Amino acid sequence: MLTGPNTDGDSLGNTCDPDDDNDGVPDVSDNSPLVPNPYQKDTDGDGNGDASDPDDDNDGVLDAADNCPLAVNADQKDSNADGKGDACTMNMAPIISC
């Protein structure tokens, strides 16, 4: 018997399973139907949940390379070069030398 993909490994193949990733959110309303994400977080509100969205903040810089994956900062500005972009660095206090 041929079986199709079955993401959550339960007794139902994806084609018959109303919740492919078994995260409790039915596929029809799941913004990441193949990735368990019960909280359905979607930072940029594009309908593709953060769990499956390659660019969570939709600033054009993919999460893997984005120094602020949840803050829009297409310029990737990082004034103190600590690897975290200015857009998501909470402590922006200037460094005072004496």
The residues binding Ca ion (CB under 5 A) are 21, 23, 30, 32, 37, 42, 44, 46, 48, 53, 55, 57, 59, 61, 66, 68, 73
Minimum CB–partner distance for residue 95 and Ca ion (Å): 24
Q: Which is nearer to Ca ion, 16 or 46 (CB)?
A: 46
Q: Do 49 and 32 meet the contact criterion of CB atoms below 8 Å apart?
A: yes
Distance CA 35, CA 21 (A): 6
Minimum CB–partner distance for residue 26 and Ca ion (Å): 10
Q: Which is nearer to Ca ion, 2 or 92 (CB)?
A: 92
Minimum CB–partner distance for residue 69 and Ca ion (Å): 6
Instruction: For residue 48, give every residue at least 6 positions away whose Cβ sits within 8 Å of its Cβ, in sequence order, or none.
Output: 31, 32, 42
| Burial category of 72 from C-beta neighbours within 10 Å (exposed 0-12, middle 13-18, buried 19 and up) | middle
Q: Which is nearer to Ca ion, 44 or 86 (CB)?
A: 44
